[in-house]
Structure 1
């Protein structure tokens, strides 16, 4: 214990001498498990960063991973990235900060990544003072907030109901910078956080040392996807951010890439609907007066970013079980079949409903996606016409049980295979199947049940820090 306190004191001393004018942040990869070249990472270490950070999750893969408590990144790949980050950080004596652990950042994801880190520490002979920060929010607290009028919908989203909350399997809140700052203040060698506001893992150390919040968060917004903001962009390569008192500079660490004012400004707008106001916990970034200028041969300098405080809200995310899915993949190239496709799909739906009269529309969902026409955008496709000679079909049934989904998908697939339509010449079958068996169990289906904002008074109260020494059990 005394040794642990001594190491923590050393960490705080090192952090206190970071510099009053400059902090360097190494973003290893866009998401832990996406990988990064050794040469780029070593080039980053040679610049002596004060912290190595990475985001480890996203809602981009959909609600399944949060609902099921599983990681969408491969364990072997995650371990490879984290091991290189930890061993590199120990060489320099700087902390590693990881947010949205395990992908979706709920308790099982955080424990999964803590286990990976523990394994690395044991095998590499590391001693890591580790701050573990869960992001799970108890359902009773959310229900109390809902009844008190402290929960609101995101723009264009539905209002939250108590039934939504109760049906949710895992419920998390995006933590902001405050718990991460406290973990670094406490001398953490490694910070593993649950679901996290993406820029926070990069902004925490600068904010600990009093740097401008707007610049620190904007830098974090650029670094969250590592070298995607470079040309050519890549989420599997490293980026260095250098924060100073009145600006920051971003630059890729591979000589094959460079940042341009356009590439960095474009990434600032990544996943944002407003080019000037980027909301986050406790306020928004105002980029009205931002300027992006070249810095050297491969970097870009950014000035003018401002943080505007607002009542503190946490973004809640939760998923519930929708049912089970079975999928059949098929192709068609008969021009008459393609011409009559809408009529055929409607006819198949009618036959399914007629053949299973005891099922209501709430018992199942039957989807047919047409790739080559509108498979990506569905009803939002502005030009829903077949431009080629063939289409790919994804026939999908979602039902309350896997067995029922199997039955419905099989019936829809066989009906479409032999469906008669005007102008049909061949009766041998309408579809070509690339696989045998033709139907696949896709398993449990989850849907977003909570995607709302909760107003709080204390941004850290929901995120207690649990301290541990890795590897656990080491003397």
Structure 2
């Protein structure tokens, strides 16, 4: 059997842009499917907590139009996973509405599959009772924690996508899914090498990030019975065995092992061979089915009302003794919050972040040079909006004038905007990062198939 399945991934996430000329060039190679991601946890828990997307609906619509025209012309499926950034039901509905609008404008008859991944709290608590929940990054879980979640999603593997394709879907709009499964589903359904399909899916997941020319390329992988060939397409597009191999490290602690629903991808024995400057051949990837089929659970819960206030410190002495100054400010503020507002330490959270001085990496930062200025950002969070505003109001003049110990002169730092504080409203935290054992890979998900008829 001569199997060759071409998977075209024009972008790492729909709504973030793609090189149109390279995409049009890739279509000339007749891909079998256009597949891409639409979401991530990279931007934090807000989107899952609120069920909203960070993408612009108008940009999503414009890109969908291009992809739907290409899909119609070639008669191939279009697959989009983790719709709405977080994979919420509302995200699927948003994308579905946009697809229906575009289909009507283009006069297309198209069968759209919506796959919904939100999990009822009752189902998760039943799985917990049956001891089918196992920890990942987070350990603690109980019924009360599950009930706290505003939304819980399960990450689907290839099986829901395959089911929708077998039901005749032209376009699949899925809730939360593993990035890899979106690209691996059609090749696996059509008999491609499973190790190669999963491995190719991992390399394709962020679009042209696996190339050495990400701004100029789209990528396409051809999966067959023994491996896959990946190609960077576009004017001046390039990739190398190293750039392809390196992507196994992206969001993955082990460069040789990738855990997915239903099994584990092992690429320790994979061989990467350059065919030319824009094509790499990969063989030796192994897919190992697991005894239990698990889906990852992501849950976000509200953790309070938050306000942010910021000032800028530029005085040389304060920069040189910044850590001492900030530690003193932190200590004094906590004493004053308890004294003047009668708020105990367990009833609020106050964090200071030094923007320009180890703000991202903290103690892991290796740079030692004194910056020209440091932005001091304070984040106050508590159970009520009023309490948080009180904390920030108390903090405001201290961020502007708080002196170093022993300094006889009152300093004036700088506020970058007025008012200096911003109310962020309710903020969220990730509280579930667990896996749930399921007997049927389709069971956690809901399917809604609808055919849009051309007018």
TM-score, structure 2 normalization: 0.95
Native 8 Å contact 1:133 1:466 kept in 2: yes
What SS is found at the alignment partner of 2:58? helix
Native 8 Å contact 1:372 1:386 kept in 2: no
Native 8 Å contact 1:99 1:195 kept in 2: yes
Q: 1:243 aligns with which of 210, 218, 223?
A: 223
In structure 2, the CA distance between the partners of 1:428 and 1:123, relative to structure 1 (3 Å rule), is same
Are positions 1:350 and 2:335 aligned together? yes
1:47-126 matches, within 5 Å, as 47-126=29-108
1:251-270 matches, within 5 Å, as 251-270=231-250
What SS is found at the alignment partner of 2:179? coil
Q: Counterparts of 1:316 and 1:140 in 2: how far apart (Å)?
A: 14
Shift of 1:354: 2.3
Deviations 1:208-265, CA, capped at 9 Å, x for gaps: 111111110110101110000000335x852111112112111222223211011011
Q: 2:289 aligns with which of 287, 309, 312?
A: 309
Native 8 Å contact 2:3 2:191 kept in 1: no
- 1:325 equivalent in structure 2: 306
- 2:355 equivalent in structure 1: 371
Q: Counterparts of 2:331 and 2:236 in 1: how far apart (Å)?
A: 52
Shift of 1:172: 0.8
Native 8 Å contact 2:265 2:285 kept in 1: yes
Native 8 Å contact 2:334 2:345 kept in 1: no
Shift of 1:386: 5.8
Q: Counterparts of 1:353 and 1:116 in 2: how far apart (Å)?
A: 51
Q: Counterparts of 2:15 and 2:281 in 1: how far apart (Å)?
A: 29
What SS is found at the alignment partner of 2:85? coil
Shift of 1:317: 0.7
Native 8 Å contact 1:395 1:413 kept in 2: no
- 2:186 equivalent in structure 1: 205
TM-score, structure 1 normalization: 0.91
What SS is found at the alignment partner of 2:302? strand
Moved more, 341-350 or 322-331: 341-350
In structure 2, the CA distance between the partners of 1:185 and 1:20, relative to structure 1 (3 Å rule), is farther
- 1:8 equivalent in structure 2: none
1:268-279 matches, within 5 Å, as 268-279=248-259
Q: 2:401 aligns with which of 398, 404, 418?
A: 418
Q: Counterparts of 2:446 and 2:349 in 1: how far apart (Å)?
A: 41
Shift of 1:451: 1.2
Are positions 1:284 and 2:264 aligned together? yes
- 2:163 equivalent in structure 1: 182
Are positions 1:145 and 2:130 aligned together? no
Q: Counterparts of 2:187 and 2:132 in 1: how far apart (Å)?
A: 31
In structure 2, the CA distance between the partners of 1:24 and 1:384, relative to structure 1 (3 Å rule), is closer
Q: Counterparts of 2:43 and 2:217 in 1: how far apart (Å)?
A: 21
Q: Counterparts of 2:10 and 2:378 in 1: how far apart (Å)?
A: 40
Deviations 1:153-182, CA, capped at 9 Å, x for gaps: 005x22211111011111110011001011
Q: Counterparts of 2:198 and 2:183 in 1: how far apart (Å)?
A: 8
Native 8 Å contact 1:345 1:416 kept in 2: no
What SS is found at the alignment partner of 2:436? strand
Shift of 1:376: 0.6
- 2:145 equivalent in structure 1: 164
Q: Counterparts of 2:57 and 2:444 in 1: how far apart (Å)?
A: 28
Q: Counterparts of 1:330 and 1:20 in 2: how far apart (Å)?
A: 65
Shift of 1:296: 2.0
Q: Counterparts of 1:386 and 1:424 in 2: how far apart (Å)?
A: 24
What SS is found at the alignment partner of 2:300? strand
Q: Counterparts of 1:237 and 1:159 in 2: how far apart (Å)?
A: 43
Moved more, 325-334 or 45-54: 325-334
Deviations 1:45-97, CA, capped at 9 Å, x for gaps: 11110100110101111111001011021112211221111111101111100
Deviations 1:313-368, CA, capped at 9 Å, x for gaps: 000011111112111122101233230322233222322232221x2233211111
Native 8 Å contact 2:118 2:153 kept in 1: yes
Q: Could you list the runs of 5+ residues in structure 2 that have no partner in the other structure?
A: none
Are positions 1:26 and 2:13 aligned together? no
Native 8 Å contact 1:26 1:241 kept in 2: yes
Q: Counterparts of 2:366 and 2:239 in 1: how far apart (Å)?
A: 35
- 1:444 equivalent in structure 2: 426
Q: Counterparts of 1:72 and 1:162 in 2: how far apart (Å)?
A: 30
Q: Counterparts of 2:420 and 2:79 in 1: how far apart (Å)?
A: 45
Q: 2:24 aligns with which of 39, 42, 65?
A: 42
Shift of 1:387: 2.2
What SS is found at the alignment partner of 1:255? coil
Q: Counterparts of 1:116 and 1:404 in 2: how far apart (Å)?
A: 41
Shift of 1:426: 4.1
